[in-house]
């Protein structure tokens, strides 16, 4: 079923048991992003240690795709260098624009490749990108 390409087990698992959810006390910056068309919202705290992403924590409300995506992203980028985290962001962003033609770079994206199917559902791409755009915004503000 077409639906299974969208809702991979990984996504449903992260939706049910999200990682790094719950905002930490410590933060260099807090950003709040939302999708006005569907009402999904994410608040994200970022802690940088020099050039390294030391911690990401978040809270939010939204659909399985948006919540699982920010969970997977947090897992992926914590502990990575800022440069690596941006490369992962770019790879994920590109995957979302691929209209179902790419299965994603598993070396870079790990569990993130589970979102490959989302790119076939134009209305859901913004869901998958919500947390990622929040991280991009937060990290740009801290680093640049």
Nearest CA to 66 out of 140, 2, 11, 122 is that of 11
Q: Check residue 97 and report its DSSP letter.
A: T
What is the C-alpha R_g of the chain?
Answer: 14
H helices of the chain, where?
Answer: 2-6, 9-16, 64-77, 82-96, 106-109, 122-143
- Pick the closer one to other proteins by CB: 21 or 80: 21
Nearest CA to 96 out of 65, 67, 75 is that of 65
> Minimum distance from CB of 36 to other proteins (Å)?
8
Site residues (vs other proteins, CB under 8 A): 1-3, 6-7, 12, 37-40, 61-65, 121, 124, 127
> Minimum distance from CB of 18 to other proteins (Å)?
13
- Pick the closer one to other proteins by CB: 93 or 121: 121
> Minimum distance from CB of 19 to other proteins (Å)?
18
DSSP H or E stretch at residue 54: strand 52-61
- Pick the closer one to other proteins by CB: 77 or 127: 127
> Minimum distance from CB of 57 to other proteins (Å)?
20
- Pick the closer one to other proteins by CB: 37 or 107: 37
> Minimum distance from CB of 17 to other proteins (Å)?
13
62: left (phi over 0), alpha (psi -120 to 50) or beta: left
């Amino acid at each position: 079923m077409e639906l299974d390409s969208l809702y991979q087990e990984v996504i449903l698992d992260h939706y049910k048991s999200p990682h790094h959810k719950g905002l930490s006390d410590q933060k260099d910056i807090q950003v709040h992003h939302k999708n006005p068309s569907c009402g999904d919202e994410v608040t994200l705290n970022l802690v940088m240690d020099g050039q390294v992403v030391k911690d990401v924590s978040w809270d939010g409300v939204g659909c399985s795709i948006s919540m699982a995506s920010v969970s997977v992203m947090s897992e992926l980028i914590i502990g990575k260098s800022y440069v690596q985290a941006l490369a992962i962001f770019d790879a994920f962003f590109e995957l979302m624009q691929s209209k179902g033609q790419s299965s994603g770079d598993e070396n870079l994206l790990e569990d993130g490749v589970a979102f490959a199917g989302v790119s076939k559902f134009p209305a859901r791409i913004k869901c998958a990108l919500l947390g990622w755009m929040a991280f991009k915004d937060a990290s740009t503000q801290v680093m640049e």
